[in-house]
Amino acid sequence: MADKKLVAEITSMDEDFTQWYTDVCIKADLVSYSNIKGCMVIKPAGYAIWELIQKHLDARFKATGVQNAYLPMFIPESLLQKEKDHVEGFAPEVAWVTHGGLEPLTERYCVRPTSETLFCDYYKGEIHSYKDLPQVLNQWCSVVRWEKETRPFLRSREFLWQEGHTAHATFEEAEERTQQMLNVYADFLENDMAIPVIKGQKTDKEKFAGAEATYTVEALMHDGRALQSATSHNFGDGFAKAFGIQYAGKDNQLHYVNQTSWGLTTRTIGAMIMVHGDNSGLVVPPKIAPIQVVVIPIQQKKEGVLEAANKIAESLSAFRVKVDETDRTPGFKFAEQEMRGIPVRVEIGPKDLEAGKCVLCRRDTREKIECAIADVPTKMAELLDQIQNDMFDRAKKHLQAHTFEAHNKEEFAEAFKETKGFVKAMWCGCRECEDKIKEEFNVTSRCIPFEQDTLSDKCVICGKPAKKMVYWGRAY
Ligand SMILES: [Zn+2]
């Protein structure tokens, strides 16, 4: 049976989560491998999800005054070199262009790994007076980072993202924008992707190359690993000093601008897969599902069935809906709907038709609901909302059930014998203790959460007075 085969080919997530993830990416038709090592083809089913992510996020950006622009994909080496920490952070993973046609270039160009330096170069020419501030731009583009190990969506040599870059008169304004954008990401992830997040600040060790402060939203995957889902950075005037970006203030004096950047990538699709997916495939939250409802006629050659299926689909024109009228078996169509994570399927056969009803089947819980055909549009609106909310609630419960506390080193070691989730523990603020944790337990600090707890007054590693509570975890 073709339908059995489709499902049997996914590895169980409890058996091998990594293989399950790869299987879902391929079987749900999101990606295929390309001949360029470490780069993937994002297929239509995957790209349609990205388009909806873009749509929702872009609307949120614009509501805060962001405008979109586009800068070149090449960065001259001399430009990349201008900010010392930044170049040190990115140099090991940039790709270089050395020739233009057959001619060697006098200066090599890197393919952007991120565009702070280009925006700085651009802003230097645009900003002269306080009247030119703030500058609040974003670009949707791809970037290249020459990763050694790659996985679909999570890590690839070229990936899609948006990168916002802003310039402000004061540090406080830059800080406000940095936090504002972090909140935009958290709101998007929780409300549209149904992914609960922990908001916090990165430690100095984990912060972005060249940033004064990096804020992050961290999510927990089904296997207990963390995924940094978006970041927002406050650069202070560090880049401005390196690039000479100054403006004349109301006081007629020259001042350096303060800058921010913030980004979210196609990794978000990986997060969606690993937070919501199950052993039958993807489960896509209704708000970002390219197809929200599929109508599947049963015994579609019987008189009136296909017509009824199409009528139901027409009555659902407020949603993203399709009718599967291919000649494959209903069983195959069900398995495919489950694999692709389409939130609701509508089943309609000759007997249903006679009774004036159909069956709505939720992807997330597999619950089947009988519904009068006339009531389908109203019921569908409620059901999609319900699914969206239930998916968030389940993910939130998983996050809470997999967040642990460690009060001392023994408890910390015990908690990380296996990768079960986040561990909250007190930290003295020393880089040495953070390095030790990485070395001994292969664990990194995920963030210093904005919502602090005091679990004890001592650092779990050195026993010295604790300064902060930190979320620790093993991350993708
Ligand atoms: Zn310590």
| pLDDT confidence tier of residue 170, bands split at 50, 70 and 90 | very high
Rounded to the nearest angstrom, the distance between the alpha carbon of 427 and the centre of ligand 1 is 5
**Which residues, other chains included, contact 437 with Cβ-Cβ below 8 Å and sequence gap of 6+?**
412, 443, 444, 445, 461, 472
Rounded to the nearest angstrom, the distance between the alpha carbon of 202 and the centre of ligand 1 is 17
Rounded to the nearest angstrom, the distance between the alpha carbon of 376 and the centre of ligand 1 is 59
Say if strands 74-76 and 226-236 run parallel, antiparallel, or are unpaired: unpaired
Paired tokens of 116: 């702070």
Paired tokens of 52: 């909806």
| pLDDT confidence tier of residue 368, bands split at 50, 70 and 90 | very high
Q: Inform me whether the pLDDT recorded for 70 exceeds 60.
A: yes
Rounded to the nearest angstrom, the distance between the alpha carbon of 203 and the centre of ligand 1 is 13
Reference 403, options 183, 218, 163; nearest CA is 218
- Least confident among 88-92, 242-246, 262-266, 329-333: 88-92
Rounded to the nearest angstrom, the distance between the alpha carbon of 431 and the centre of ligand 1 is 8
Rounded to the nearest angstrom, the distance between the alpha carbon of 198 and the centre of ligand 1 is 23
The pLDDT of residue 8? 57
Rounded to the nearest angstrom, the distance between the alpha carbon of 412 and the centre of ligand 1 is 13
CATH of 293-383, one of 3.40.50.800, 1.20.58.60, 3.40.50.620, 3.10.290.10: 3.40.50.800
* Residue 327: other Cβ atoms inside 10 A: 6
pLDDT tens-place string over residues 34-50: 999 999 999 999 999 99
Residue 313: what residue type? A
The pLDDT of residue 1? 42
Calpha distance 248→169 (Å, rounded): 10
Rounded to the nearest angstrom, the distance between the alpha carbon of 373 and the centre of ligand 1 is 64
The pLDDT of residue 6? 56
**56-62 long-range contacts, Cβ below 8 Å, gap at least 24?**
56/188, 56/192, 56/287, 56/288, 57/162, 57/184, 57/188, 57/264, 58/140, 58/162, 60/184, 60/187, 60/188, 61/138, 61/162, 61/164, 61/184
DSSP secondary structure string for all residues of 73-117: SEEEHHHHTTSHHHHHHHGGG--EEEEETTEEEEEEEEEPS--HH
Calpha distance 273→195 (Å, rounded): 11
- Average pLDDT in the 367-371 region? 98
Rounded to the nearest angstrom, the distance between the alpha carbon of 414 and the centre of ligand 1 is 18
| pLDDT confidence tier of residue 163, bands split at 50, 70 and 90 | very high
Q: Inform me whether the pLDDT recorded for 348 exceeds 50.
A: yes
Rounded to the nearest angstrom, the distance between the alpha carbon of 112 and the centre of ligand 1 is 37
pLDDT tens-place string over residues 105-117: 999 999 999 999 9
Rounded to the nearest angstrom, the distance between the alpha carbon of 121 and the centre of ligand 1 is 41
- Least confident among 133-137, 207-211, 394-398: 207-211
Rounded to the nearest angstrom, the distance between the alpha carbon of 408 and the centre of ligand 1 is 11
Rounded to the nearest angstrom, the distance between the alpha carbon of 424 and the centre of ligand 1 is 14
- Average pLDDT in the 79-87 region? 86
The pLDDT of residue 2? 46
DSSP secondary structure string for all residues of 327-341: SS-HHHHHHHHHHHT
The pLDDT of residue 89? 85
The pLDDT of residue 16? 96
- Average pLDDT in the 133-159 region? 95
Rounded to the nearest angstrom, the distance between the alpha carbon of 453 and the centre of ligand 1 is 17
Rounded to the nearest angstrom, the distance between the alpha carbon of 151 and the centre of ligand 1 is 34
Q: Which fold has domain 32-276?
A: BirA Bifunctional Protein; domain 2 (3.30.930)
How much of the chain, in percent, has pLDDT values that exceed 90?
A: 93
Reference 218, options 241, 194, 198, 248; nearest CA is 198
Rounded to the nearest angstrom, the distance between the alpha carbon of 229 and the centre of ligand 1 is 27
Query: Under a CB-based contact definition with an 8 Å cutoff, are residues 85 and 91 in contact?
Result: no
The pLDDT of residue 430? 95
The pLDDT of residue 58? 98
Place of tokens 């993910």: 395
Which CATH number describes the domain made up of 403-473?
Answer: 3.30.110.30
Rounded to the nearest angstrom, the distance between the alpha carbon of 462 and the centre of ligand 1 is 4
The pLDDT of residue 93? 92
Rounded to the nearest angstrom, the distance between the alpha carbon of 432 and the centre of ligand 1 is 7
Q: Is 315 exposed, middle or buried (0-12, 13-18, 19+ CB in 10 A)?
A: middle
Rounded to the nearest angstrom, the distance between the alpha carbon of 433 and the centre of ligand 1 is 5
Paired tokens of 309: 């299926």
Backbone φ and ψ of 237, nearest 5°: -105, 20
Rounded to the nearest angstrom, the distance between the alpha carbon of 430 and the centre of ligand 1 is 6
- Distances 178 to 13, 137, 184, 219, 262 between C-alpha atoms, Å: 37, 13, 10, 19, 7
Calpha distance 344→282 (Å, rounded): 13
**Which residues, other chains included, contact 109 with Cβ-Cβ below 8 Å and sequence gap of 6+?**
74, 75, 76, 77, 96, 97
Measured torsion, CA atoms of residues 273, 277, 280, 281, in degrees rounded to the nearest 10: -10
In Å, the largest CA–CA distance within the chain is 82
Rounded to the nearest angstrom, the distance between the alpha carbon of 475 and the centre of ligand 1 is 21
Residues of each domain in the chain carrying CATH 3.40.50.800? 293-383
The pLDDT of residue 419? 83
Rounded to the nearest angstrom, the distance between the alpha carbon of 11 and the centre of ligand 1 is 41
| pLDDT confidence tier of residue 7, bands split at 50, 70 and 90 | low
Residues of each domain in the chain carrying CATH 3.30.110.30? 403-473
First to last CA, the chain: 36
Q: Inform me whether the pLDDT recorded for 383 exceeds 70.
A: yes
Rounded to the nearest angstrom, the distance between the alpha carbon of 461 and the centre of ligand 1 is 5
Measured torsion, CA atoms of residues 328, 334, 337, 342, in degrees rounded to the nearest 10: 140
The pLDDT of residue 111? 97
Calpha distance 333→329 (Å, rounded): 6
Rounded to the nearest angstrom, the distance between the alpha carbon of 455 and the centre of ligand 1 is 14
pLDDT tens-place string over residues 400-447: 999 999 999 999 999 999 889 999 999 999 999 999 999 999 999 999
| pLDDT confidence tier of residue 475, bands split at 50, 70 and 90 | very high
Residues of each domain in the chain carrying CATH 3.30.930.10? 32-276
pLDDT tens-place string over residues 280-336: 999 999 999 999 999 999 999 999 999 999 999 999 999 999 999 999 999 999 999
Calpha distance 337→28 (Å, rounded): 9
Backbone φ and ψ of 208, nearest 5°: -65, 145
Paired tokens of 372: 């009068």
Rounded to the nearest angstrom, the distance between the alpha carbon of 205 and the centre of ligand 1 is 14
Q: Inform me whether the pLDDT recorded for 168 exceeds 70.
A: yes
> What is the number of residues in the chain?
476
Rounded to the nearest angstrom, the distance between the alpha carbon of 217 and the centre of ligand 1 is 24
Rounded to the nearest angstrom, the distance between the alpha carbon of 426 and the centre of ligand 1 is 8
| pLDDT confidence tier of residue 5, bands split at 50, 70 and 90 | low
Place of tokens 């970041």: 231
